[in-house]
Amino acid sequence: MKKLLQLLLFMGATLMSGFIAHAAPKATDKTAYDFDFESLNGEPMPLSAYKGKVLLMVNTASKCGFTVQYKGLEELYKKYKDKGLVVIGVPSNDFGGQEPGNAQEIKKFCQLNYGVTFPMTAKYAVSGDQAHPFYKWANEVLGFGSGPKWNFHKYLLDSQGKPVAYFGSNTTPESGKIAGAIEELLPGK
């Protein structure tokens, strides 16, 4: 009986020490810089390349009623890029199948119709079980209900790579809400 008790105590201690040593990091321990995408050109696009920048991550679609927001996103990018903002478009076919194109078609559409010059990733899932890990993480950090519900959902991240706000599809890039939040995060504020 004594040996059985010693064995159980040893196993318990071993399990506990293994559990503590291998505890999963909390979502808040990460930053956007821990995530990588692929660009529309098929090149690696690590978010760590944007360290020190304020990021506006937007899931986009070419055949959506909100597609006209590309224009406002490009204007935001041009207005604030020299002050430290990077807008990043993330094409997604998650909502209504409204981004059916391949990378070249998406790139051509964005450049011809809206003059998009801000960085764009390859097409990714942004919702559900197949969502890109960045989207799962941002939703976890910002809390229940913060994930994309439709195209042109926007996550705003500070210059340390932490999500600080999200804006639904109905909040346009021209909105004073978005510009005000960006201005609060830019260097010199």
Q: Please state, as a whole number, how many other Cβ atoms lie within 10 Å of the Cβ of residue 129.
A: 6
Q: What is the pLDDT of residue 28?
A: 72
Q: Are strands 54-60 and 36-38 parallel, antiparallel or unpaired?
A: unpaired
Whether 64 is catalytic is yes
Model confidence over 163-172: pLDDT tens digits? 999 999 999 9
Mean pLDDT of the 123-138 span: 97
Structural domains of the chain, with CATH: 30-185 (3.40.30.10)
Q: What is the pLDDT of residue 13?
A: 44
Locus of tokens 């503590």: 20
Angstrom CA distances, 176 to 7, 47, 83, 158, stand at 65, 26, 17, 18
Active site residue: 27, 39, 64, 107, which one?
A: 64
